[in-house]
Each structure stands twice: as C-alpha cells, then as structure tokens.
Amino acid sequence: MSDRTKPKMLTIYLYVPNIIGYIRVLMNCLAFAICFSHKGIFSILYFVSFVCDGIDGWFARKLNQVSTFGAVLDMVTDRISTACLLVILSQIYSPGLVFLSLLALDIASHWFQMYSTFLSGKSSHKDVKDSSSWLFRLYYGNRMFMAFCCVSCEVLYIILFLLAKRQSEDLIDVLVSSGRQSLALFILIVLALFGWAVKQTINVIQLKTAADACVLHDINRKQKQKQKQKQ
C-alpha cells in the first residue's frame, strides 16, 4: 500500500458519521456492561445509541460523507446491539425461543439483503424500488415510517427489559399485567407492538426477496455459462 493511499483511507475512517459510529460502539459496550446493575442508565445509553443511528445518516448526507465502510459499520452495530438485548431477554422471559427466533430472523434477513445488494450491483441495500411488495417499498422509501417501525422494536425490547423483575417471567403475563396498571403504558405497548409486528413482517419479506435475488443470480450465471459453451 502506497503512502499516498493511507491519508485517503484515514480521511474516510475519520468521517463525522463514522466517528459517531465509534461512539455508538463505546456506548453500547458501556451499556451492556452495566445492564443488570443499572437498568435505567443502560436503557438511556442503549436508546441514545439507537437515536445516533439516524443522526450519523443525516451527517453523511449533509456533509457528503457517505461511505461503504460507514454503512457496514452502521448495520453491524445495529445488529450486534439488538442481538445482545434479544439474548438477554431470552434468558429473562419464557419462552426464550421467541427472542432467539427474532434474533435469527433479524440477522438472516439483513445479511441476505446486504449480500443480494452487492450481487445486483446496487449502491445501497435500501434500494428496493423494483420490489413487488408495496410494504417493502414503503418501509425503505419513507424514512418516517421506517423510523417508527425501528423505534417501536427497540422501545418494546427496552420496556420488556425494564419490566422484568426476575428470571423466567412469562412474556404474555408481563405485557397484560403492565398494560392493566397504566393506561399510558398500555398505549405505548400497543403502539410498540404494532410497529414491531410490521418490522418483523418486513424482515420476512426482505429475507424472501433477497433469497430470490441470490437464486436469480445463480440462474443467470448458469445461463451465461451455457451460452459461452455453445459459442
């Protein structure tokens, strides 16, 4: 690697959105280190880190500092932080398999989507204009709708974490009893559940759409190979 290349690489590493990404990583590390001893502080740090996910994107567009590294850093940070919280919830609530299944769906759908994006030659995994699903197009085409769904998921998971008093809590019982205690909490849980349900539906659609794109890529590649052999 030449000396001229290094300053350019350093410049990208030090993009403002990427620096925000590094701060998010540090906040998440601190949050999970104290999650059981200081639930309130954990929730604040976790949610602030999540909010920064939108802030770094705004800076990237505003400062013209969009980068592939930043996009990957952003997605990896999101997936790991959500995965850690889902693992914790799987140990607190019964049945824990619910949260582990959500974890598997979240990682699989985003990994397939990112990989299929590179195969199709698109510059962003959010480019789904050619999708046949109106809900999928709405999700990635409307930032407010996508933000609502994502925030709903994280808020629901944080609420569940804060509500848990002991291990092996019954998930349904906790949601129902908490909703009965406070009207405000009931409304918040209902809204969060709605956004969460839409987000999981999007994950399923995304997984299927991305898997189809990978299969279609294989079919096209084999057809091209056959054409070359005939020539």
2, pLDDT greater than 60: no
For the stretch 147-163, pLDDT in tens is 999 999 999 999 999 99
Average pLDDT over residues 95-105: 94
pLDDT score recorded for residue 105: 96
Q: Which domain does 147 fall in, by range? A: 5-230
The pTM of this model reads 0.87
Q: Which is catalytic among the residues 78, 130, 170, 212?
A: 78
Average pLDDT over residues 63-68: 89
- Is residue 127 part of the annotated active site? The answer reads no
Q: What percent of the chain has pLDDT over 90?
A: 58
pLDDT confidence tier of residue 6, bands split at 50, 70 and 90: low
For the stretch 20-64, pLDDT in tens is 999 999 999 999 999 999 999 999 999 999 999 889 888 998 999
Closest CA to 207 of 86, 72, 127, 107: 107
CA gap 10, 81 in Å, rounded: 26
Burial of 228 (0-12, 13-18, 19+ CB in 10 A): exposed
Average pLDDT over residues 182-201: 94
- Does residue 121 come out as left (phi exceeding 0), alpha (psi in the -120 to 50 range) or beta? left
CA atoms 12, 14, 20, 23: torsion sign? positive
pLDDT score recorded for residue 7: 58
Closest CA to 17 of 74, 60, 71: 60
The strand pairing partners of 93, in sequence order, are 169
Average per-residue pLDDT for the chain = 89
Pair of tokens at residue 120: 């199709």
pLDDT score recorded for residue 4: 60
Q: How many domains does the chain have?
A: 1
pLDDT confidence tier of residue 192, bands split at 50, 70 and 90: very high
The domain that holds 59 is classified in CATH as 1.20.120
CA gap 28, 84 in Å, rounded: 10
Q: What percent of the chain has pLDDT over 70?
A: 97
